[in-house]
Amino acid sequence: MSRPHISLIGAHVSIAGGIQNAPLRAQEEGLETFQCFTRSPQGGAAAPLTDELVAEFKSNMATAGIDRFHIHAPYYINTASPEARIRHSSIRILREELERGSTLGASYVMYHPGSAKDRALEEAITDASDAIASILKDYKGTCQLLVEISAGSGDVLGDTFEEVSAIIEPVKKMYGFGGICFDTCHAFASGYDVRTPEATKEVLRAFDNTIGLQWLKLSHVNDSKANLGERKDRHEHIGAGHIGKDGLANILTTDAFRKIDWILETEFEGREGDIKKLRQIRESK
């Protein structure tokens, strides 16, 4: 029986040697959940999910004592590209990832909407929203799609709550749409300050008024090498960046964030300390 949905602490783990190895790597780190790719994040065809591989993966999940996990889509996805070929390829791959996630038993597939380079913002947002509708057309799987908040470098979409809301509003009620993955580093780099309890309340109020807290489903928990509003995606170990451990505690101890899983995307070296700090935060009031 699955555990109730309280915050589980996880991290992104490697699928080197096959995705079936991911649960055991998570177990070695003492993780309660994890995130992984199901294919190379840089390109190339996905390895087939044979019956034997799926059975081994699920057996290793049981061995590790892990009930749920999440999938990160490849980095090259761009549902807002000015090139129709790239948009259509991104749609196909995201649908494949949802189907693969359903086969493996993943809760969510999260992705970045992409870049609006050389395009009008409104046009790019429309294409990004239409892409979700295409991805979810006639979908019947169990894995759900999440849009991840971006750091806003260059022409990347989804760095403001308003842009995210515009992308998801037309598709919120479609089967298979899950909601939002909130990356603490990305949000901070985009200008959302959580370093004081008062500022955090304002951020959550803005999220609720613009998107709706009911759509908050997962958090990537990373400190930030970039300062507030610098619009750079630079993850840092917990407490070593500009948000700080106390800043992360401000948001992670709110009711909304205590209901969702926390996924680290920090470098493996030093991550043991990150896990310990997140456990301390979770145990605090």
Are 202 and 160 a contacting pair, CB within 8 Å?
A: no
Q: Which residues pair with 225 in a beta bridge?
A: none
Q: Is residue 264 part of a domain?
A: yes
- Looking at the structure of the chain, the number of domains it has is 1
CATH number at residue 67: 3.20.20.150
Q: How many residues make up the chain in this entry? A: 285
Query: Is residue 127 domain-resident?
Result: yes
Range of the domain at 115: 9-283
Q: What is the pLDDT of residues 246-277, one digit of tens each?
A: 999 999 999 999 999 999 999 999 999 999 99
CB 233 within 8 A of CB 274: no
The pLDDT, as a whole number, for residue 1 is 37
pLDDT in single tens digits along all 285 residues of the chain: 345 568 999 999 999 999 999 999 999 999 999 999 999 888 888 999 999 999 999 999 999 999 999 999 999 999 999 999 999 999 999 999 999 999 999 999 999 999 988 889 999 999 999 999 999 999 999 999 999 999 877 789 999 999 999 999 999 999 999 999 999 999 999 999 999 999 999 999 999 999 999 999 999 999 999 999 999 999 999 999 999 999 999 999 999 999 999 999 999 999 999 999 999 999 986
The span from the CA of 127 to the CA of 132, in Å, is 9
Q: What is the pLDDT of residue 27?
A: 98
Among 227, 226, 238, CA closest to 263: 238
Which helix (H) or strand (E) segment holds residue 63: the answer is: helix 51-64
Q: What is the pLDDT of residue 152?
A: 79
Q: Residue 114, Cα to own-chain centre: how many angstroms?
A: 14
What's the pLDDT at 118?
Answer: 81
pTM value? 0.95
Residue 62 lies in a domain: yes
Residue 2 falls inside a structural domain: no
